[in-house]
Structure 1
Amino acid sequence: MRSLAKFLFEAGMLKKMRRTGYPFLGTGNESVADHSFRAALLGYMLALQQPELDAPKVALLLLHHDLAEARTGDLNYMQKRYAKADEEKAIEHQVRDLPEVLAESVRSLTREFNESKTPEAMLARDADQLDFLIELKEQKDLGNKYADDWIRYALKRLQTDAGKELAREILTTDWTEWWFEKRDDLWAPPNGENGDK
């Protein structure tokens, strides 16, 4: 259990590790763990709509896909032109003290995601990009004039029909639509009444 405790402390670094592309975009900010959480949820929900896919496996692929970044950091597209992270070495060092059944699970899931050959891995890769697309759409809605250029390239990386379909919906949905109902009775009720109905 000591080795598992150490591994979990290390995985917790992803809550502190910032995604490094946003300074180049000029707006936006999230941790690697923030990204992995929504990507896993997104991938799981997309996979549930496709009975032939193993939805829990898609979620697990996404929960593991950036674990190496606790050691390598998050290299953005500019940085990757000049530096290469040895993610396989990082994963090996992360799991070397874990019981073999746990170590092999981490190795196998990260390998499957990176190879992107199974239907689950292809959907997981799309979910990784779709989470980024959601962030970009939010930045666009908030007025970032560069977000459209980034969105164009994120769309080109999508592989699955389900990923492409969800991308279309993301791009036509205002980021506040889930909560901001444009109703006078909610925001300007008569006589100062509580408008939350």
Structure 2
Amino acid sequence: MDPDCPAPARRVGASRETGHRFGGQRRKNDRGPRSADQVSAAHPAVKAGVQRVVGEYESGDTPEAIVAKDADKLECLVQAVEYRAQGYALVQDWIDTSLNSLKTASAQALAEAALTMSPLEWRKTFLGQ
């Protein structure tokens, strides 16, 4: 995480990674707290803190949660664009769904760039790779 990023954004951004690191992505109909199993043996204060932050992300009510969710959707969109560039034809619905779910202007601008550049050009421009 970027050390210059405000603490609430780092906190919520880190919470979005729990689904990536432990057991795969959530599905829309999976309403149970994914973090419950992950922190079941933790100290009660740690358990409560993790579940509070994950709940904040999942509710999507704070600016930090909105940005974190946009990061998830943008990551999906970029991955779909990369698949399309490799010849996979059945990714347009994935691209459209990801694009239509973006809330912030910055995520929408990055998505537009991803859709108008080659994946290599996008990585060089935005990731310095």
* Residue 14 (structure 1) aligns with: none
Shift of 1:62: 2.1
RMSD: 2.8
Residue 105 (structure 1) aligned with residue 49 (structure 2)? yes
Q: Which amino acid aligns with 2:32?
A: E
The answer to whether the 8 Å contact 1:95/1:103 transfers is yes
* Residue 61 (structure 1) aligns with: 15
| Counterpart Cα distance in 1 of 2:38 and 2:10 | 23
Residue 135 (structure 1) aligned with residue 89 (structure 2)? no
| Counterpart Cα distance in 2 of 1:67 and 1:143 | 26
Deviations along 1:31-89, one digit per CA (max 9) or x if unpaired, are xxxxxxxxxx6xx6xx95xx7x844234213223x16962xx5466xxx6xxx43532x
Q: Please identify runs of 4+ aligned residues in structure 1 that moved more than 4 A.
A: 73-76
Deviations along 1:11-35, one digit per CA (max 9) or x if unpaired, are xxxxxxxxxxxxxxxxxxxxxxxxx
| Counterpart Cα distance in 2 of 1:74 and 1:61 | 13
| Counterpart Cα distance in 2 of 1:149 and 1:86 | 24
Residue 115 (structure 1) aligned with residue 69 (structure 2)? no
Q: How many pairs were matched up?
A: 122
TM-score by length of 2: 0.77
The answer to whether the 8 Å contact 1:68/1:87 transfers is no
> Where does the alignment leave 5 or more consecutive residues of structure 2 unmatched?
125-129
Distance change in 2, residues 1:159/1:147 (3 Å): same
| Counterpart Cα distance in 1 of 2:54 and 2:11 | 12
| Counterpart Cα distance in 2 of 1:147 and 1:114 | 26
Q: Which amino acid aligns with 2:93?
A: D
* Residue 154 (structure 1) aligns with: 98
Rg larger for? 1
